[in-house]
Structure 1
Amino acid sequence: MSIQDRAGVGGAAARHAIGPDAANAVAHTLKALADPLRLRMLSAIATDPDGETSAGELATLTDVAQPTVSHHLKVLRDVGLLASERRGTFVLYRIEPGYRGAITTLLDTFAPSAVGIRRPPHLTGLTDVDHELSSLAESLAARVPGATSEESLHVVRESYAALARRGGIPTHLVALTEHFARQRLDDLVKARERGDGTTAVRHPGAAHPPQVLFVCVANAGRSQLAAALMAHHAGDRVVVRSAGSAPAPDVHDTVRELLAEIDASGADDLVFPKPLTDDAVRAADVVITMGCGDACPVLPGKRYEDWVVGDPALASPAGVVAIRDELDRRVRALLAEIVPGAPVRIPDPSPARP
């Protein structure tokens, strides 16, 4: 549309913009959120296993006096974000049900994007690497029993495009595509063999080990740590996958350091955020979600669990370690259930590699 045309469309902006009353209401709520301590309090409440926290517990987040903490909680409660309930001598605070989805989006999607400066998405034209992708597809079709040449080429091209859309530097993008496409083809064949999609947790000695899928929003923190811990403790007794409903360009730096400690062999150099696919869900026996909301499809015959765990992207160094330890506890418990009697590997007490 030309400048002259735009000038002649009177009131178009007013018709498309948010209404003044709604804008005032949203701005009022955002103003209440525009305080670092309030945001930390909100994240602590949202990720608490019981979904509620006392003012005394929240006071440990900072060195301010408890009356100051109570003031901030009152601000959040006055705009409707929090509800409170007195139980004996304690007042417990929780997220108002109507705001849970919005708070999840704020903490799991908007906040990590605001913390790190992201490069614009970079999508290399497929025609530039068409020969490499075609050769890769032929190779994978020969290496994955049950995969056809046609679906291998489709999966390879789709995987390449999906990884490129994450943004970041497209270094070794074809190599990452090979790793991701191989997983996807394995999952596609496995899901097709099951037919009706129903599964059962397998036990030691069964033909195939159980498969566990860890899902979070960015696949850059929680799900990567959980997958690495499960692979470390279970070895080849469990097939491990991780994915994100909106994958980030790369794994968080603090998380990558912990991944290097978990896997001293150096295999963590193949760790990268991957998009969630339906085939990954269909092939899984157990699906663990961590803050990804309703993005993960719910299929019959699967075991689903939602783990309320903090986001390493927003945590302090000590907080990231605490998140790792919480995930380690949960992973060990899950492994004991899906592979009864399976011993877990004791963490190596030696210092992390540089």
Structure 2
Amino acid sequence: MTTQSLPLTVADPDCTPQIEAHAIGTEVAGAVAVTLKALAEPLRLRMLSFIATSPAGEACVCDLAALTDVSQPTVSHHLKVLRDVGVLASERRGTWVWYRITPGYKAAVSTLLESFAPAALEALVGPHELTGLEDVDAALDHLATDLAARHPDLGPGVVLGTVRESYTALARSATVSAHLLTLTERFARQRLADLTREADARPQVLFVCVANAGRSQLAAALVRRYAGDRVVVRSAGSTPAADVHPAVRPELAALGTTEGEAYPKPLTDDAVRAADVVITMGCGDVCPVLPSTRYEDWLVGDPALASPAGVAAIRDELDTRVRALLADLLPDLDLPTP
């Protein structure tokens, strides 16, 4: 029996990729990734931009706490993360600690804030042009003008900024661009209402989960069912999905929530500031910690991949927790028997 040898394939030296010559080294990539991970947090980026644009090139913890409207321990935690990776340096003067960007990172931070950030925002909005609209900017300007007339206590610039930010935030996860303007109007109305909230006897509750497509939507729907307009309820996601989970839609419909009311929304500082109670469900430490705000963390399963029986069990668990919450917030509320 004769064995035929297979021909050897000889790589063309001119076509062989010079991987080691062009790719970043493994150790360097690891070190850079650690720094990028530290920067990948909205609150830290805001602090970094404040320090970078400060006339003195530095900022005190007290200034940053006022900027972010969160507690000083929360500010100190985020600053420590940036200091540990070498982006910031600190110096204690009396009772306060001052922070500045380390010399080696000044050019990198400038590039991040002046070039990368605008490019990232443009890329997020660019792929989501509104179908049927020739000029998105004109549509947003018209919406802002209409909303500004309803909020004379806010400047037109604030309203326009809120409308544009709302559009950009929703566009990040939008899959049906034709509905973006309608969703932007609803989201902007909610945010403007939060910005102008006056003293109100009604408690305001904010439910936050990861996708705002299941648990937080169900919890908000249960509050609306039992409390009606006696409680102002919001829901949001740390990383909002493109749509509500299909398995959750029938449950929301049974609770009287329409598709127009249930759409994933990103978490905003406005919603947190307006809330009396913030309830998180599996989204980690994403909410700014504000004084005089009550926080709870509910360990509830995610209905995203649950069976119909599993979704029903999650709904029942939320129902029990919502009843207990409302009994505390509204002792005189007549809750129906489970």
TM-score tier by shorter-chain length is: 0.5 to 0.7
**For residue 255 of structure 2, what is the aligned residue in structure 1?**
262
Q: Among 129, 133, 137, which residue is 1:124 paired with?
A: 129
The TM-score with structure 2 as length reference comes to 0.62
Could you tell me whether the CA contact under 8 Å between 1:255 and 1:312 is conserved in 2?
yes
Residues 163-178 of structure 1 correspond to what in structure 2 (within 5 A)?
163-178=170-185
The TM-score with structure 1 as length reference comes to 0.59
**For residue 150 of structure 1, what is the aligned residue in structure 2?**
157
How far off is 1:248 after superposition?
0.4
Identity of aligned residues (%): 61
**For residue 223 of structure 1, what is the aligned residue in structure 2?**
216
Q: Among 254, 257, 268, which residue is 1:277 paired with?
A: 268
Size of the alignment, in residue pairs?
228
Deviations 1:151-189 (A, max 9, x none): 110000110111011132223211111110011011112
**For residue 301 of structure 1, what is the aligned residue in structure 2?**
292
Paired with 1:131 and 1:147, the residues of 2 have a C-alpha distance of 21
How far off is 1:142 after superposition?
1.8
CA RMSD of aligned residues (A): 2.7
Could you tell me whether the CA contact under 8 Å between 1:122 and 1:168 is conserved in 2?
no
How far off is 1:144 after superposition?
3.2
Residues 93-242 of structure 1 correspond to what in structure 2 (within 5 A)?
122-124=127-129, 128-144=135-151, 146-190=153-197, 207-242=200-235
Deviations 1:270-291 (A, max 9, x none): 3100000011000000000001
Paired with 1:218 and 1:313, the residues of 2 have a C-alpha distance of 9
**For residue 115 of structure 2, what is the aligned residue in structure 1?**
none
Paired with 1:288 and 1:211, the residues of 2 have a C-alpha distance of 11
Higher relative contact order structure (alpha carbons within 8 Å, sequence separation ≥ 6) = 1
1:290 and 2:290 matched: no
Paired with 1:221 and 1:8, the residues of 2 have a C-alpha distance of 44
Could you tell me whether the CA contact under 8 Å between 1:216 and 1:292 is conserved in 2?
yes
How far off is 1:146 after superposition?
2.6
**For residue 237 of structure 2, what is the aligned residue in structure 1?**
244
1:318 and 2:309 matched: yes
| Secondary structure of the corresponding residue to residue 299 of structure 1 | coil
Structure 2 alignment gaps of length 5 or more: 1-13, 32-125
Could you tell me whether the CA contact under 8 Å between 2:206 and 2:233 is conserved in 1?
yes
Paired with 1:269 and 1:261, the residues of 2 have a C-alpha distance of 15
How far off is 1:122 after superposition?
4.3
Runs of at least 4 residues off by over 4 Å = 16-19
Could you tell me whether the CA contact under 8 Å between 2:174 and 2:180 is conserved in 1?
no
